[in-house]
């Protein structure tokens, strides 16, 4: 019978291996393994001062730099029995040469750190630039 120490040591090694090995075999960056800021901690005010600044965006297949264009649709509505729901969205502009697909990306910014959000390409009435939207719906206490 294994001692508690042996059990914990072996279990820790297996957990570490299980977390690292898929990235090696699937040829994916370990950027996804680093801790990120929770999207629930982000607010519209945190982004207002960052309009016209660049964010580095990492996806499963490619990375890009996006410029924050606008903080949109800020709303807070009361929900009986649960509190309030805060809603807002961010509009980004990117390169037309290498458009990003709709998926979850890790965003990085010096002022905010890293956070994972779902990015959606949006059509801006044919103005010649690729735009993307990120939508936040947060339950407030």
The residue behind tokens 């719906």 is: 137
Do 6 and 52 sit in the same domain of this protein? Answer: no
Structure-token pair, residue 19:
């977390």
Provide the pLDDT for residue 27.
Answer: 43
* CA gap 85, 72 in Å, rounded: 15
Q: What is the mean pLDDT of residues 50-77?
A: 93
Q: What is the CATH number of the domain that holds 112?
A: 2.40.30
Q: Provide the pLDDT for residue 28.
A: 44
Encode pLDDT of 18-33 as tens digits.
Answer: 665 554 444 444 444 4
Instruction: Please say if the pLDDT value at position 78 is more than 50.
Output: yes
Residue 85 and residue 119 share a domain:
yes
According to the model, what pLDDT value does residue 57 have? 96
Pairwise CA distance, residues 87 & 65, whole Å: 25
Query: What sign does the dihedral 59-65-69-74 (CA atoms) show?
Result: positive
What would the mean pLDDT of 84-99 be, rounded to a whole number? 89
- Per-residue confidence (pLDDT) for residue 24, from 0 to 100: 45
Q: Give me the pLDDT at residue 126, please.
A: 64
Q: 22 and 39 share a domain?
A: no
User: 60 and 12 in one domain?
Assistant: no
72 plus 117 within the same structural domain: yes
Range with the largest mean pLDDT of 6-20, 24-38, 66-80: 66-80
The answer to whether 55 touches 108, Cβ cutoff 8 Å, is: yes
Q: Do 17 and 81 belong to one domain?
A: no
Number of domains in the chain: 2
Same domain, 57 and 75: yes
Chain centroid to CA 131: 16
Residues 20 and 42 grouped into a single domain = no
Whether residues 103 and 64 share a domain: the answer is yes
Could you list the residue range(s) of the whole structural domain that residue 9 is in? 1-29
- What 103-107 contacts at long range (C-beta under 8 Å, 24+ apart), as own/partner pairs, is 103/59, 103/60, 104/59, 105/57, 105/58, 105/59, 106/31, 106/32, 106/36, 106/57, 106/58, 106/59, 107/55, 107/56, 107/57
Q: Are residues 20 and 38 in the same domain?
A: no
| Whether residue 99 sits in one domain with residue 136 | yes
């Amino acid at each position: 019978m294994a001692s508690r120490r042996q059990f914990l040591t072996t279990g820790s090694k297996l957990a570490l291996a299980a977390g690292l090995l898929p990235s090696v075999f699937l040829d994916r960056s370990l950027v996804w393994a680093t801790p990120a800021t929770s999207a629930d901690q982000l607010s519209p005010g945190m982004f207002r001062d960052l309009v016209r600044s660049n964010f580095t965006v990492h996806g499963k297949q490619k990375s890009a730099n996006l410029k924050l264009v606008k903080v949109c649709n800020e709303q807070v509505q009361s929900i009986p029995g649960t509190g309030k729901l805060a809603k807002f969205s961010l509009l980004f502009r990117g390169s037309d040469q290498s458009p990003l697909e709709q998926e979850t990306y890790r965003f990085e910014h010096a002022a905010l750190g890293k956070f994972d959000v779902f990015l959606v390409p949006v059509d801006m009435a044919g103005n010649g630039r690729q735009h993307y939207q990120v939508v936040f719906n947060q339950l407030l206490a």
